[in-house]
A and B are shown apart, each in its own frame.
Chain A
Amino acid sequence: MVQEAESKMAKSNGGILKWMAEYDRRYVYLVLFLVVIIPLLRPIGMAVSVSPDTQQYYNVLNTVKPGDKVFFTLNTEYSGFNELHSGIVASLRVLVEHQAKICFAVGHVEATIIPDLIIKEVKSEMDANGYQYGRDYVILGYVMPNEPAVAGMAMDFHAIVTQDSLGRSIQGTFLDDVHTWQDWDFISDFSTGLSTTYLQNHFALRGTTMIVNCIGVSVPSEKPYLNSGLIKGLLQSMKGGAELEYLIGHPGVGLTSMDAFTFGHYMLIVFIIIGNIGYLGYVRKTQTEARGG
């Protein structure tokens, strides 16, 4: 009787462990869809803590003075924009509140629509601060697809850029005062890893204050540049954007996504635990048995 029960238990354990090791991966995708969409439709409002890197980014952003010329570079594809959206809008809000002169430029054709989208989101702040196209901000569009273009902009801006995104001359705008890298006070870069290295090499290295908001995948490769002081601030992925929204006291798409974001990570941890139990309890055991151990 006892032996029978033990055998039954072993079989049932093997069944669960086998399932844990070999379950259909489509369950993961299905659960991920549910785990993300349910908190988006029914938010809980989980607490957000501010990381030291975001605090540093915010502090550097706050050093911008009225009239400072800011190169606002969007080195992202449209897919990356979803991840950087909150950081871009929150950073722009701070710059507008500090009455900086902002030049928007993009490094990918898919990003050409982004300046208009984000300006629409901060329109009330721009109107309140009396922003006028040309005098206070310019949208250049697609201008920095490669290193020679960025290097050229650092040495002679008007040799590389002569028109804005709509083909109008940039003469008569605040960019008349910009000639070399020295004329920029600040670079705020939003990156999936396109022209950021070029901006670091030809602007930040020479001394222009540069901050970066990058996607999560790029954080390990950008972090050494923060630690070595080349860039002064690093906002990490959507989480960084949410933290910045919290710091500036203006909730947006970042903070509202943090529930889904957090549950997505919990889900990953659960699946890692399930996978490891399955591996140790079934795969490894089976391999050992097959080797006659």
Chain B
Amino acid sequence: MVAFLDISVVAVGAFLAMCMFSTLYGKSNPLYALAEESYIGFATGLTIVWNVLYIWQTGIVNMMNGDWVLILSVILGIMILFRIHPKYGYVARLPIALVVGAQLGLSLRTIIFTGFIQQISSVIAPLFTGSAQTLLYNWTIAICVIFMLTFFFYTVEMEGALGMSARFGEYLLYMAFGASFAMTFMGRLSMFVGFMQSYTIPDWKTPYLLGSMILVLALIVWMDKTGLREKLTPEE
């Protein structure tokens, strides 16, 4: 026996999700506006609650336990809120500068290794030792890196061998972008399949999903035909 609460969650969730998908109808509609505003409202509320909780757990509780240095971070946090005041907005600049500076300092110290030195060293691979497959991989990487790098030589005229190399590098870049697009599609499809799956497993959820799909589609078509769609859709 499925609990009433579970049924309610699935029914409301499926309906609001289908309202969200109603944007695919190609015309703005009140059901999409309802789902969108609901999501923004809930997500903002949730974020605020969890952030306040985070400040409480990591800041206030530790301060009460005697870690008074944390009061400085609370003061800096309050200073950021001055941003909304037209006259004292400048007060927010100090904590923002500190945050950006700390973030950049921490990133630069490490990204120079992870994003630069390690990436270059991983491209430098043996070209004359190893199995046939390894050699094929390594030669492909080496040649492709050279071709693609030549594409970015903007200070010399692209003629002859250099021009051909740059052209070939350009095609290689297109192939990389194509692969990237394919992965993006795979990711989006996975998300969609995962969503549909969460509303079809276990079996008792399926009628709520199918019902919501039919209901939302019927409502939009009906509102579109009767002119209610334009009338009820809030202005952006």
B5, CB-defined interface residue at 8 Å: no
Name, among B106, B183, B192, B193, the residue most crowded by chain A CB atoms within 10 Å (CB to CB): B193
Q: Find the A residue at minimum CB distance from B43.
A: A110
A15, CB-defined interface residue at 8 Å: no
| Residues of B close to A146: CB separation below 8 A | 103
Instruction: Give the interface size class of chain A.
Output: 35 or more
B196, A40: Cβ atoms under 8 Å?
A: yes
B62, CB-defined interface residue at 8 Å: yes
Instruction: Summarize A's interface: helix, strand, loop or mixed.
Output: helix
The CA of A216 and the CA of B187, in the complex, are separated in Å by 4
A225, B190: Cβ atoms under 8 Å?
A: no
Q: Find the A residue at minimum CB distance from B185.
A: A268
Q: Which B101-160 residues have C-beta < 8 A from chain A?
A: 102-103, 106-107, 110-111, 113-114, 118-119, 121-122
| Residues of A close to B114: CB separation below 8 A | 197, 200-201, 204-205, 225, 228, 230
A224, CB-defined interface residue at 8 Å: yes
Please tell me which one of the listed residues A148, A217, A239, A253 contacts residue B188 in the complex, with CB atoms under 8 A apart.
Answer: A217
The CA of A33 and the CA of B210, in the complex, are separated in Å by 11
| Residues of B close to A239: CB separation below 8 A | 186, 190
Contact with A along B34-51 (1 / 0, CB 8 A): 000000000100110011
A85, B186: Cβ atoms under 8 Å?
A: no
The CA of A253 and the CA of B190, in the complex, are separated in Å by 11
The CA of A265 and the CA of B198, in the complex, are separated in Å by 20
A261 to chain B, nearest CB (A): 5
**Segment of A66-74, A76-84, A176-184, A283-291 engaged in the interface with chain B:** A76-84
Given the interface pairs A142-B50, A162-B61, A230-B114, the reply to whether A216 lies near B190 with Cβ below 8 Å is yes
The CA of A239 and the CA of B193, in the complex, are separated in Å by 11
| Residues of A close to B61: CB separation below 8 A | 162-163, 167
Contact with B along A227-259 (1 / 0, CB 8 A): 111100000111100000000000001001100
Q: Find the B residue at minimum CB distance from A227.
A: B122
| Residues of B close to A205: CB separation below 8 A | 110, 113-114
Given the interface pairs A216-B183, A224-B122, the reply to whether A36 lies near B196 with Cβ below 8 Å is yes
Q: Which B165-203 residues have C-beta < 8 A from chain A?
A: 176, 179-180, 183-198, 200-201
| Residues of B close to A257: CB separation below 8 A | 190, 193-194, 197
| Residues of A close to B213: CB separation below 8 A | 33
The CA of A279 and the CA of B72, in the complex, are separated in Å by 62
| Interchain Cβ contacts within 8 Å, total number | 150
| Residues of B close to A230: CB separation below 8 A | 114, 118
Q: Find the A residue at minimum CB distance from B197.
A: A257
| Residues of B close to A94: CB separation below 8 A | none
B193, A264: Cβ atoms under 8 Å?
A: yes
A63, CB-defined interface residue at 8 Å: no
The CA of A137 and the CA of B26, in the complex, are separated in Å by 48
Q: Which A41-55 residues have C-beta < 8 A from chain B?
A: 41
| Residues of A close to B50: CB separation below 8 A | 109, 112, 142
A40, B107: Cβ atoms under 8 Å?
A: no
B side interface size, CB within 8 A: 50
B106, A147: Cβ atoms under 8 Å?
A: yes
The CA of A26 and the CA of B114, in the complex, are separated in Å by 43
B182 to chain A, nearest CB (A): 9
Please tell me which one of the listed residues B25, B122, B183, B200 contacts residue A26 in the complex, with CB atoms under 8 A apart.
Answer: B25
A161 to chain B, nearest CB (A): 8
The CA of A253 and the CA of B213, in the complex, are separated in Å by 22
A217, B106: Cβ atoms under 8 Å?
A: no
Q: Find the A residue at minimum CB distance from B187.
A: A216
Please tell me which one of the listed residues A80, A110, A162 contacts residue B58 in the complex, with CB atoms under 8 A apart.
Answer: A162
B57, A163: Cβ atoms under 8 Å?
A: yes
Given the interface pairs A167-B57, A224-B122, the reply to whether A109 lies near B190 with Cβ below 8 Å is no
The CA of A167 and the CA of B54, in the complex, are separated in Å by 10
| Residues of B close to A264: CB separation below 8 A | 189, 192-193
| Residues of A close to B57: CB separation below 8 A | 162-163, 167
The CA of A228 and the CA of B125, in the complex, are separated in Å by 11
Name, among B26, B185, B192, B194, the residue most crowded by chain A CB atoms within 10 Å (CB to CB): B194
B3, CB-defined interface residue at 8 Å: no
B9, CB-defined interface residue at 8 Å: no
A220, CB-defined interface residue at 8 Å: yes
Given the interface pairs A109-B51, A145-B54, A228-B121, the reply to whether A80 lies near B193 with Cβ below 8 Å is no
| Residues of B close to A200: CB separation below 8 A | 114
A219, B183: Cβ atoms under 8 Å?
A: yes
A82, B194: Cβ atoms under 8 Å?
A: yes
> What 3 A-B pairs come out closest when comparing CB atoms?
A216-B187, A82-B194, A201-B110
B residues with CB within 8 A of A: 24-26, 43, 46-47, 50-51, 53-54, 57-58, 61-62, 102-103, 106-107, 110-111, 113-114, 118-119, 121-122, 176, 179-180, 183-198, 200-201, 206, 209, 213
